[in-house]
Amino acid sequence: MRDTTANEVSRIDTQVLAGRYRLLNPLAEGGMGTVWLAADEMLRRDVAVKEVRLPPDLPPLQRQDVFAAALREANLAARLKHPSIITIHDVVVEDDRPWIVMELLTGESLERTVTERRPLPPIQAARVGVGILSALVAAHAAGVLHRDVKPGNIFLTRTGKAVLTDFGIAVAEGDATSGQTSRLIGSPNYIAPERLRGERGGPYSDLWSLGATLYFAVEGVPPHPAETPISALSKVLTEPPRPPGLAGALGPVLMRMLDPLPVARPSFEEVAEALKEIALDRPAAAFPAPADLPGPSPAASTGPGRTFPPGRPARRDPGPRRGRALLWAAAEVAAVAAVIGATAAVVNLTGDRPAEAVPVRLSEKPGAFATPVDLCALLPAERVKQLLPALTGAGKPTNKGGCEWTTSGKGLSVQPAGSDGQWGKSPRQAHELFVNQRNAAIPNGQIAWSWPEISAGSRSARSTGPVAVRSAGEESFGYDVYENRRTGRLEQTYVTLRVDNLVVEVGYTVVDGTKDGPAIQSGARTAATWVAEALNKQKAAG
């Protein structure tokens, strides 16, 4: 992008946007524009204004795409309210361009602080991590993935607060990105390996990026130092992180966050607890390296910290070194494909997910559930009453081979997944069905549903993408459904789980407003655990 000339500054600094925001002087130059100090003459306060500027010879369609992306960034950030997320005050369209009005922060970016001064002590870096991790949790809860967590997008204020900025390439639930070609813009040093391979990624990808950012904060270099973006991309995909030398107690936490396997990364809760202890200069609990995990490839995970239940067959132990060496070797193939055609600033990758790896030792023979299971018999009414206190009878079979328990305003359902329920098929085939169900659970903002038996009329809703669910079957994931109109509250949570050769979906619905979001999520996951326990008992009984 061209520099702002003295004449341009002289001309622009007298400009008033929307009759109230007077541009004063430029504060910083970015990849797509300039951030200005401005005076809000209506509220009599100083603000920051992000100007989106492009070369005049850029084709009209590309200009429209960039401006649409800027408006999208503002809309995403404006819906997030958190002390460690930049506050968006207003969006102004002037001269056929968007101008984003933000809170004015005083301080410096983490990148500039470390580069121009020195790396942060581990305690200070942990404090930065606590704030940004909390911001990411808030963003993810609102259905937003940041996708560009890096030192340049973390601002350290003079009061000591860390603030997450720049949602320019974030994605929200409902975005139609699957199957489309997309561009990863930014430094590959801070992009999670699964996203460099072309996957959409998830909260666990933001966690990896935060780990890389905190690594830079204490070490002064990224975890995969390289001279060029192409070299960095190759190293992230094919090499382990450089062992930290200055991180102290923070080192084990960072190495877990930077695990190339999404399923091997710790949960957000585990990281938050460790960072809080380090930030308080207290000895953190041991943060062990993960065992050599059985199961899917890095592309197969659905969320941060996902673990496999104890009942999963263990593969022959190749030793942790050999296991990791196999991972790096496999990643080299992806690296070769990714590097071809890449440039120093932009990496072109497809958004399609790679083929799913089948967990080790899944049988091809018919599984334990060779005939249809009476799903109503899995949950006695007395147990279901814990979730539906007004229930007066047993569950009722559905025309799809499932079962449902209903009261006014609340409902619980257990349905076989897939068109034929996978009755009598093998665990391997059931795993493939499970993967298909999970891949189909993409964020969607255009859902219409009704359930007359619980007094739920026709409703407009939006669903989240898949999230990890622990201790429910041999594989499991969940997703939530929020009301689009009026309250925007969570009304349904679904958990899909696999036990042997059977895949079922458990749903808990509350539309009468008597349960908040966490209670609905907890109810669905509790019911899924009950179902998994009942199926395992049937399996053991033969």
Dihedral (Cα; 394, 400, 401, 404), 10-degree rounding: -20
- Decide: 23 and 49 in contact? Cβ < 8 Å: yes
How far are the Cα atoms of 136, 142, 194 from residue 81, in angstroms, in the given order? 11, 10, 28
Residue 152 CB contacts under 8 Å (≥ 6 apart), including other chains: 109, 110, 111, 166
DSSP 246: S
Transcribe 464-482 into DSSP letters: ---EE--SSSSEEEEEEEE
Closest by alpha carbon to 431, among 295, 330, 264? 295
**Euclidean distance between CA atoms 287 and 278, whole angstroms:** 12
**Euclidean distance between CA atoms 49 and 63, whole angstroms:** 19
Structure tokens, 456: 């739920």
Closest by alpha carbon to 128, among 250, 221, 223? 250
**Euclidean distance between CA atoms 332 and 320, whole angstroms:** 19
What is the separation of C-alpha 260 from the centre of its chain, rounded to a whole number of angstroms?
16
Dihedral (Cα; 224, 226, 232, 236), 10-degree rounding: -20
List, as own/partner pairs, every contact residues 379-386 make where C-beta atoms lie below 8 angstroms and the sequence separation is at least 24, other chains included: 379/403, 379/405, 379/412, 379/414, 379/527, 379/530, 379/531, 379/534, 381/405, 383/530, 384/412, 384/527, 386/526
Structure tokens, 449: 């549903």
**Euclidean distance between CA atoms 92 and 82, whole angstroms:** 23
Q: What SS3 class is residue 315?
A: coil
Transcribe 163-224 into DSSP letters: EE---TT-EETT---TTSEEEEES-GGGS-HHHHTT----HHHHHHHHHHHHHHHHHSS-SS
Residue 373 CB contacts under 8 Å (≥ 6 apart), including other chains: 502, 535, 538
**Euclidean distance between CA atoms 13 and 67, whole angstroms:** 22
Closest by alpha carbon to 198, among 173, 180, 223, 174? 180
**Euclidean distance between CA atoms 153 and 135, whole angstroms:** 13
Catalytic residues: 148
